[in-house]
Every structure is written in C-alpha cells, then in structure tokens.
Amino acid sequence: MELLDIFDPPNWLPVIVSTVVYFGLGAVWYNPKVFGTAWMGESGVDPNDEAAKARMPMVMGVTVVLILLSMLVLAHLVRPGAPIDKVLQVALVLGIAFTLPISGMNALYEGKSPKFFLVNYGYHQIGIAIGAVIFALWK
C-alpha cells in the first residue's frame, strides 16, 4: 500500500465545492422542519437566545474552515474516477472509524441523548459520503 503525500497540492475547486455542499447539507439537516427542532430540544439550544445569535457568524465561519480541513484530507483519499460503490465504502469506514467515536464520546461526556448523537453523527456521515462522491465524479 502506498502512503499518501498529504502535502501534494489538492485540486481546489472540488475541495471548495464539497465544502460548500457539506455546509449546505447542514443548513438543510438542522432546519427546524428536518432535524433542527429535535437537535435544539436535545442540545438545549434556545433559538431566541440573543447571545447565541450574535455568535452565529463566528460559529458558521469556523464551521466552514473545519469542513474545509476535512475535505482537504478526503480529497487525498478519493481519486477522480474511483468506483462510487468503493467510494461510499471508504466514506462509511471513515465515518465509523472517526466521526462515530468522536461524536459518541462527546455526547456521552456532555450527557446528551442518543437522539442528539444520531442527528449529529448522521449529518457528518452523509456529509463525508457526499464529499467523497464529489471527488470521485470530478474530472
């Protein structure tokens, strides 16, 4: 098995596109009509909290940077033209190996419910899968 040179320059366009799509998925996923109401109820977030609203631009900005970092690494793991079934397997393994344990530990230590964990984990698992598919399909 050949190790990746993580410092090879990426193709920035699919990295940016996958970052925007992953972030956009969050806008849909955490919408009150999808999982937002359940997430807010389980997390204790008050949508009317003015201090939380004031922090939102910073939170969103940091979120984009963190997703970008994830997509930079994923871009080195998924090559253009890779078979979609294999790409989805890689995404599933990455999610199970990294996202699931981290999300699970955070939920446990923070005293959050299984519902809270599943909403967060599901978002990231699907975001990773979509990003991987974008990299595989990019020519």
pTM confidence score: 0.91
Q: Which of the 8 DSSP states describes residue 78?
A: S
pLDDT of residue 2 exceeding 80: no
Task: For residue range 9-48, list pLDDT tens digits in order.
Answer: 889 999 999 999 999 999 999 999 999 999 999 999 898 9
Q: What is the mean pLDDT of residues 74-103?
A: 96
Q: In terms of pLDDT, which residue wins out, 53 or 67?
A: 67
Task: For residue range 58-86, list pLDDT tens digits in order.
Answer: 999 999 999 999 999 999 999 999 999 99
For residues 75 and 12, the answer to whether their CB atoms sit within 8 Å is no
Please list, in sequence order, all residues whose beta carbon lies within 8 angstroms of the beta carbon of residue 10, skipping any fewer than 6 positions away: 72, 75, 76
Strand ranges (E), the chain: none
